[in-house]
Structure 1
Amino acid sequence: MNGHRTAPEPRCSALSAARGALLDRLEAERHIGPGWAAAVRAVPRERFLSGGVFLPEGHAARWRPVTPDGLGPEEWAELAYSDQSLVTQLDGTLTPDRATGPVEGYPTSSSTAPATVVGMLEELEVRDGDRVLEIGTGTGYSTALLCHRLGEDNVTTVEADPELARRADDALEVAGYSTWTVTDDGLLGHPSRAPYDRIIATCAVRRIPHTWLRQARPGAIVLATVGSWSYGTGLAKVVVAADGTAEGRVTGPSSFMPARAQAAAPLGGSLAARAAYADSVRRARVAPGVLRDWMPAFLAQLAAPTAQLVRAVAGGTEKRYLIDAERESFAELAPEGDGWVVRQGGPLALWDAVERAITGWRTAGEPGIDAVRLRVTREAHTYWIDAPGHLGLRWEHRHPPLP
């Protein structure tokens, strides 16, 4: 009897080819070693995008929902395995499969570009048998890569959003990974599964929580994006010491959505009201346009770590504001002639601090973000740059200990 083989479904065939093409690109660009290559080859990214994605339409605040059923097999496969971050949630609630048409909103969850995911996993330097804590499950794709590489019982992942956690857990189960998926505030880690050999955050944090260090073994690596803005943030890599402190460096630029508990709250009220009472007015020694560049923006966040940067048009004039609602301080910058004037008010002279940081950096020869070192203790975060022939730049952020 002659048997016959059923032809593969077009969608399955297209997805398999697209996954192979992604792996080829990652290997060609040297983003990936053999261990993670096997994980990328095995883990179906499309399973973690089953609710669809939002694609930008027209301008940054408007999005078009796209679901797997709305595209042909090859088009969906190309999108699912494109090396780009794909937005999967807006405004903390809306997912593509629940949107009926183009919408406006702010991205609150995404599937990070595979090259970025794999690059961070390589930076984590895992070893066989390592126990990993992941902060920010998101879609669950990076969780699945960790499970494939280390075994599902060695991976604990924490997601603050219950709906995202449920979807990720479902996708992980369908993909064959029954790992520890926890719904909680990731800034607190997950002590019941500690200690961990590696901790990785797929969200940005203002500082590395000391609770993470308490849940890590001596010699553990902690990898997290530090900063409070949507850009100008850096990937910090620190090694935990036996005394519970950690020290390391910023390895390069990195951009992630903020941890839910640290997302900037709407300022409320008008900017004019917040900037009504200035304690000083002077010519700015550093123009605010410098903050469009990544390293100066990172330095500004070190100098004013709880301030928000806002661009606004008032009376036909484009202005820049640094607003620190917690410290009741502001800096307002407005163009005047061939320069800028800065008005400042409140207990902190925010722009003075930013100018000192940027002027010192320029004097030191404008080193890159990978020149930044940091030390984390229970009491403080200390950042510094050691430049040849220069006394160095230093910032210390003291904070009350976390539980």
Structure 2
Amino acid sequence: MPTDRRSHPAGAGGEKSARPLPLTTQLDGHLTADQSGEPVAGVPTSSSTDPTTVVGMIEALDLKAEHHVLEIGTGTGYSTALMCHYLGEDNVTTIEVDPQVAARADAALETVGYSTWTVTGDGLLGHPHRAPYDRVIATCAVRRIPYTWVRQAKPGGIILGTVGSWPWGTGLAKVTVGEDGTAEGTIIGRSCFMQARAQAVTPVAGDLSARTAYADSERTALVSPLVLEEWMPAFLTQLAAPGAQFVRATHGDGSPLRYLFDPERESFAAFLPSGAAWTVRQGGPVALWDEVERSLVAWQDAGTPDVDSVRLHVTPTSHLYWIDRNPSLRWEHRIA
């Protein structure tokens, strides 16, 4: 249910809203708390991140008083206000893709005395008019760090953003821009944000059994697909097969079914329980589970390191991720 102070007066919602929890503030791209006094169903499209996470991310930026910051995803304006308080309103540029959300955030910022640069637009494109920036921070998840952010940051500048397209299994990337126009850094921890609107994934729909009816191969899986419900294996899967979607389902007899689909490459992996093991059926031009399984086995052999073991390098044409010097734990995402 979206939350609004007017629908929760002090002593009730005031206390509830002050709790360090994330809150959904918009559903389906338009519905906000002041439009409904009752619980409603819908797809969350904007939220207020819990204060602990916000403060932790701002601290990770290593801000100095003279820094100029670009924020991607204004949201409620809470993180914007914190940075305005420290840096001054003229040093903060914030971009929000949703005009309704941007207007509400701008009004809220004005209420607490900040008239900052609030821009309505696609944050994936940055805001070149006020570049270059010392710091770039994103409060939405992206499939990869957009090179436009690197190009609009100063050498030595820091970019902080959540990478990944699944609702879980994503990581907070912190990269530093080099003199050569590339950026390098590490995943500093687990992180979970709503996907950037321009990169929102369309869920796989329709008759899943029909979509997986014609397989090219069938074998026993070396790794259970259930591990993809855990954070690090899910993150590794997105590195090994960045276009893949994980789908949970139930067979008519109540037995569990799991699927991996890669719509862009028209490939799938369907998993069926077989006693204590799982049978995997694969179809399409790419053996999807073979790609993912190689990474999972190598990760297990390396001692199952967590997300903060992953490093990344961003260039205009590719993103490279790796763990240690293990060639089996190295993934390059080319940019068309």
TM (normalized to structure 2)?
A: 0.96
Larger mean CA deviation between 65-74 and 245-254 belongs to: 65-74
- What is the deviation of 1:291? 1.4
- Are 2:66 and 1:129 equivalent residues in the alignment? yes
Counterparts of 1:4-403 in structure 2, within 5 Å, are 54=1, 65-316=2-253, 317-386=255-324, 393-400=329-336
Q: Distance in 2 between matches of 1:181 and 1:143?
A: 9
Question: Would you say the 8 A contact 2:3–2:25 is kept in 1?
Answer: no
Q: Distance in 1 between matches of 2:149 and 2:4?
A: 37
Q: Is the 8 A contact 2:3 2:24 kept in 1?
A: no
- The count of residues paired between Structure 1 and Structure 2 equals 335
Deviation at 1:391, TM superposition (A): 5.6
Separation in 2, partners of 1:70, 1:232: 34
User: Equivalent residue of 2:13, what SS?
Assistant: helix
Cα contact 1:386–1:392 (8 A) shared by 2: no
Q: Deviations over 1:165-217 (max 9, x none)?
A: 11111111111111111111111001111100000000000000011111011
Deviations 1:89-114 (A, max 9, x none): 11211111112422111211111000
C-alpha change, 1:169 and 1:92, in structure 2 (3 Å) is same
Distance in structure 2 (CA, Å) of the matches to 1:135 and 1:295? 25
**Are the equivalent residues in 1 in contact too, given 2:143–2:163 (CA < 8 A)?**
yes
Identity between Structure 1 and Structure 2 (%): 63
Report the 3-state secondary structure (helix = DSSP H, G, I; strand = E; otherwise coil) of the residue aligned with 1:94: coil
Paired amino acid for 2:329? L
1:138: Cα distance to partner? 0.7
How far did residue 392 of structure 1 move? 6.1
One-letter amino acid matched to 1:285 = L
The alpha carbon displacement at 1:66 in A equals 4.8
Larger Rg: 1
Whole-angstrom CA distance in 1 between matches of 2:153 and 2:71:
12
- Runs of 5+ consecutive residues of structure 2 not aligned to the other structure: none
Q: Which runs of 5+ in 1 are unaligned?
A: 1-53, 55-64
Give the AA of the match of 2:57. Answer: M
SS at 1:306's partner residue?
A: coil
Q: Which amino acid aligns with 2:186?
A: R
Are 2:294 and 2:328, in contact at CA under 8 Å, matched by a contact in 1? no
Q: Distance in 2 between matches of 1:242 and 1:255?
A: 30
Q: Distance in 2 between matches of 1:186 and 1:232?
A: 23
Q: CA deviation at 1:297?
A: 1.1
Offset from partner CA, 1:238-268 (integer Å, 9 cap, x none): 0001111000000010000100011111334
Q: Which residue of 2 aligns with 1:45?
A: none
List, as ranges, runs of 4+ consecutive aligned residues in structure 1 with deviation greater than 4 Å. none
Report how far residue 116 of structure 1 moved: 0.1
In the TM superposition, residue 129 of structure 1 has moved relative to its aligned partner by 1.1
Q: Residues 383, 66 of structure 1: CA spacing in aligned structure 2 closer, same or farther, 3 A cutoff?
A: closer
Higher mean displacement: 198-207 or 96-105: 96-105
Q: What is the Cα deviation at residue 273 of structure 1?
A: 2.6
RMSD across aligned C-alpha pairs, in angstroms?
Answer: 1.4
Structure 1 distance, partners of 2:107, 2:289, is 48
Distance 1:177 1:143 in 2: 9
Indicate the SS of the match to 2:12. helix
SS at match of 1:321: strand
Is the partner of 1:276 in helix, strand or coil?
coil
In the TM superposition, what whole-angstrom CA distance separates every residue of 1:26-78 from its partner, at most 9, and x where no partner exists? xxxxxxxxxxxxxxxxxxxxxxxxxxxx2xxxxxxxxxx55434434222222
Looking at structure 2, the residues matched to 322 and 392 of structure 1 have their Cα atoms a distance apart, in angstroms, of: 21
Aligned mates of 2:163, 2:192 — CA distance in 1: 9
